[in-house]
Chains A and B, each alone.
Chain A
Amino acid sequence: MKYFKSFIIVALALISLEVSAQNKTNAFYGMAIPVGDTKDYINPASFRGGNIEFERLVNPKIGVGLLVGWNTFYEAKDRGTYPINNGEITSNQYRYLNAIPIQATGKYYFTGDDAVIRPFIGLAAGTYYMEQRVDNGLFSSSDKGWTFSIAPKAGFLIPLSYSTSLAVSLDYSTSFESSDLPQQNWLGINIGFSWDY
């Protein structure tokens, strides 16, 4: 009986901790504007992207989480002539950059969850699985691999209901140079929703 009481007490304590430690799921549609080396490779902005973040508020103003996503950059170059080893190739060229982030995130919310607007700053750090591919007509060549990445971010939540908020954020992603891939940078614009539970 003593053990049973202890078990009930511990269980209730854990349940109360779970209730007080709020969880969030943030889902974003992501646009991205290439910068630096990425802009040299693919100039147009990407409108194909999204990410999902599972976040746990360790206190009302600090959240930690895990983010996964996918961004695709693409440019169809006009038919042109490009150098190859001891020769040249004339073709339409299609350039792709796929970036799949798997990152740990940390955020600081400047206001509590009862505020009309909840601005935040944060940092994501982890890895990107990158694939950089160039198609020349029927020929395709690609470089792929895992890179270290960071993405400082800032944004705000606008609560729409008790558990749902509109979420907007900007981030600056850097995928660092690896033996297989050059450095990539882009400015991300993310719009989505945040759900509390």
Chain B
Amino acid sequence: MKTKVNFLLVIVLTLVVYACYPGGAEYVEELDTSISKFDKAYSWNDLNGKTYSLPTNIMHVKNGEEVDPPKEGPHDKDILKQIKSELDALGMVDATTTAQDTTIALVIVIIEQNNSGAAWIPGGGWWGGYYPGYPGWGWGGYYPWYPVYYSYKTGSVLIEMADYTNKNVTEETIPLIYTGVLDGLMQGSQNYAGTRIKNGINELFNQAPFN
């Protein structure tokens, strides 16, 4: 009998502690992350006055496949507008407004991922092809690294920067100097998502190497 009571006590203790186990995030936006990775050797203090070129369209990737033909998402215009504003605030100059060549090229990618595993997909691949915003170049950047997860529908916004003066002529690539990633769960209204994206871009430009 006493063995049964002792056994019961152990079970009760386990259940009580498990029931009280802290749950972490309560709201979707509390899971949002803004991550920046950058080349530390790059002269980040000299961005002022450098020209940049934003893509005309944002690339969309759904479950690992590029959305083709390209389709404009509900937040694309706002994202482009906000990034332009952030770059202007850094003293950079939109290449389309000057006669100068582009120095910093940007690629923006929105990734939707459904239950595709928990892993970091490393960069280093090759987009290839021609993308708007790379006027006349015909070169792509490296394939971006990005995280994917099991059991969730996640959305990611990637902002990549490459300095055209560092181009590799032989391989026809431009090494990335910066990747910014917003990650979050795709839940809630489009307005809610839009606000979260806006906050995330703001966070990215308040991180190193820009702050």
B10 A72 Cβ-Cβ under 8 A: no
Q: How large is the interface on B (under 10, 10 to 19, 20 to 34, 35 or more residues)?
A: 35 or more
Chain A contact residues: over half helix, strand or loop, or mixed? strand
**Whose C-beta in chain A lies nearest to the C-beta of B27?**
A92
B13 A89 Cβ-Cβ under 8 A: no
A87 B31 Cβ-Cβ under 8 A: no
B17 A90 Cβ-Cβ under 8 A: no
A137 B184 Cβ-Cβ under 8 A: yes
Q: How large is the interface on A (under 10, 10 to 19, 20 to 34, 35 or more residues)?
A: 35 or more
A92 B21 Cβ-Cβ under 8 A: no
> In the assembled complex, which residues on chain A have CB atoms less than 8 Å from the CB atom of B206?
81, 90
**Whose C-beta in chain B lies nearest to the C-beta of A137?**
B33
> In the assembled complex, which residues on chain B have CB atoms less than 8 Å from the CB atom of A54?
6
B208 A87 Cβ-Cβ under 8 A: yes
Least CB distance from B36 to A in Å reads 5
Least CB distance from A55 to B in Å reads 11
Least CB distance from B205 to A in Å reads 11
Least CB distance from A29 to B in Å reads 8
> In the assembled complex, which residues on chain A have CB atoms less than 8 Å from the CB atom of B22?
48, 72, 74, 76, 94, 96
A69 B13 Cβ-Cβ under 8 A: yes
> In the assembled complex, which residues on chain B have CB atoms less than 8 Å from the CB atom of A70?
13-14, 17
A-B contact pairs, 28 of them (CB 8 A): A25-B6, A48-B20, A48-B22, A50-B13, A50-B16, A52-B10, A52-B13, A68-B10, A69-B13, A72-B21, A72-B22, A74-B22, A76-B22, A76-B24, A81-B206, A87-B36, A90-B34, A91-B32, A94-B22, A94-B24, A135-B25, A137-B30, A137-B184, A138-B33, A138-B147, A138-B149, A138-B184, A138-B185
Shortest beta-carbon contacts, A-B, top 5: A137-B33, A74-B22, A87-B37, A91-B33, A88-B207
